[in-house]
Chains A and B, each alone.
Chain A
Amino acid sequence: MAVPDRRLSRRRFAILGTQVVAGAVTITLAVPIVGFLISPLFRRERVVEREVGNVADVTGPDPQKFIVTFPQNAWPVPDVPVAVYVVRVGQGYKVLSNVCSHMQCPVRWQPDLGQFLCPCHGGLYDRTGLNIGGPPPKPLPEFVHRIDGNGVLFIQNRFTEQI
């Protein structure tokens, strides 16, 4: 009975070697593709600061709406407008985004209700942005802000908490 030759022949080696190289090339090609796909996850958003207005204009208990423009992510396109609600809380101010914490729909202040209402799924927030009804899981996001000595309010395009 002949003992099978288990040594790697030159032909077999060439075939196996080619397959291994082809596999390595495929994986190498996948690296830049996957890398560019997930690149937004690692990009740092450009933080800018914009003037909102003077807090002396926020009179009365109702939140007051301002429009601020912020840059969009990635390449330069015209800045987009964003709605900002400024509300007096005690001696200070809260600067609320109108992005609903549920599905990010555009929340609006309803003076007749005295509440913020989300038009999509009926979320309700009180005047300080606390979620008080409907599906929203969190209060309205707050912009990072500062007020200078003259009472001028500035906000950054980021929130105090990740949304």
Chain B
Amino acid sequence: MISELRGWASSAYNWMDERASVRSLLRKGLYEAVPVRGAWFYTLGSATLVLILLQLVTGIFLTLLYVPSVTEAWQSLNYVRQHDAFGSIVRGIHLWSAYVLLFVIGLHMVRTFFSGSYKRPRELNWVTGVGLFVLVLAMAITGAFLPWDQAAYWTAVVVTNIASYTPIIGSFLRALWRGGDTMGPVTLVRTFGIHVWLLPAILFPLIGAHLALLRKHGEFGSYVNYRGAYRAREGVETPPAPTQRRIEPPYPAVPTDELWAAPLETEDFYPYQTFKDGLVSVVLVAVVFLLAVTIGAPLEEAANPATTSYTPVPEWFYLPLDELLVLVPQQLIPLVLVLPAGGVALLLLLPFIDRDAERNPFERPAVMIPGAFAVLFVVILTLLGSGRLFNL
């Protein structure tokens, strides 16, 4: 019986393989060589992917209950809150996995920055990654508009209004987004379209490119995987022969050139790296699920443009920008656009500015110190903002 099933499965597999090359696709996907040292840090990328896919799945199901209209958006979610426990959990997962995603994608970026993995030949991995980071932030901020409760409404007012401080075309941009000078039905429909179609249509192909580039060049990992190679170049010591890779090496067979250096020790992506990836993702998804069930996604009172008592509190990921809005004096308000735009531009240019082959973070002070200050700046803004809003 079992052997019969096995025989049937194997012939089905062979049938598919003859037509769609599943065998070589699987081998290519699973038997990539990955540097051994620091492999737990590489789980941040796969965790980001898992959380984005969780967003996709829960997001698709949320469109089955949510109505993108100013008169019904809040009503539909309020109905779910009162009468649909599972729908509330789906909404909770969508919210909390977005929060965790923003955190994890940030860590992934910091890790890549720290280990210098953006250097030749992986510049485009970094550039696509910066694009993905910006798109995820855009998804988060457009998603925050959609419940059309008080929190959502005032977030929408402030965020669309920030666009109006763009030099020259500011008020056009705001009108384009709002569908008029003031907030209205078009504002919500346009933001919904941007959130569920426009941004994902760019996001998912970009993920494909990011992963294809990763597979093309392999994980760089960390400089610790290349120590022997560096020393060998300086004639100090002969490195041990690198572990033989099974298929299509993106690394050279011998660690000769540190730009293209092969890590001294690698292991197969499957099952070693996938075990670590799986463990981290399972823990994160479990945390998301628990938060979704216990805390869930809040829904405040329906949007009321005439309020004189509601105090808008921004989403936590948007706190640094909100604190900037408080600190920047009235003559310099466009700074709140220039600073983030300049930051993104610097990130995109990073691999083309920092072209030195050196990957050791402690040997790259010219990059690490400004980077540390930038992170510190964002952290301080967040702390100031939370202190102001929550009287910490």
Contact = CB atoms under 8 A, between A and B. Distances in A.
Interface of A: 37-38, 40-41, 43, 45, 65, 67, 72-75, 77-78, 80-83, 98, 102-109, 119-122, 131, 134-137, 162-163
Contacts of B154: 105-106, 120
Q: Is the interface of B mostly helix, strand, loop or mixed?
A: loop
A3 to B, nearest CB: 45
13 contacts: A38-B176, A40-B179, A41-B175, A65-B308, A67-B306, A83-B307, A103-B161, A106-B307, A131-B330, A135-B325, A162-B171, A162-B181, A163-B181
B238 interface: no
A74 B185 contact: yes
Given A73-B180, A81-B306, A102-B325, 15 more contacts: A37-B176, A40-B178, A75-B185, A83-B305, A98-B306, A106-B154, A106-B310, A119-B311, A119-B312, A120-B322, A120-B325, A135-B329, A137-B330, A137-B331, A162-B171
Contacts of B161: 103-104
B186 interface: yes
B333 interface: yes
Contacts of A162: 171, 181
Interface of B: 69-71, 154, 157-158, 161-162, 171-172, 175-176, 178-186, 304-312, 322, 325-326, 328-331, 333
Contacts of B171: 162
A120 B312 contact: yes
Given A82-B306, A120-B325, A105 B175 contact: no
A137 B205 CA distance: 42
Contact of A102 (B183, B184, B333): B333
Nearest to A159: B181
B331 to A, nearest CB: 8
Given A72-B182, A135-B330, A105 B157 contact: yes
A81 B158 contact: no
A103 B184 contact: no
B135 to A, nearest CB: 20
A74 to B, nearest CB: 5
Contacts of A136: 330
Contacts of A105: 154, 157-158, 312
B176 A80 contact: no
A41 B184 contact: no
A98 B308 contact: yes
Of listed A77, A82, A102, A103, residue having the most chain B CB within 10 A: A103
Nearest to B304: A81
A72 B70 contact: yes
A103 B305 contact: no
Nearest to A84: B306
Given A41-B176, A74-B186, A109 B308 contact: yes
A82 B310 CA distance: 14
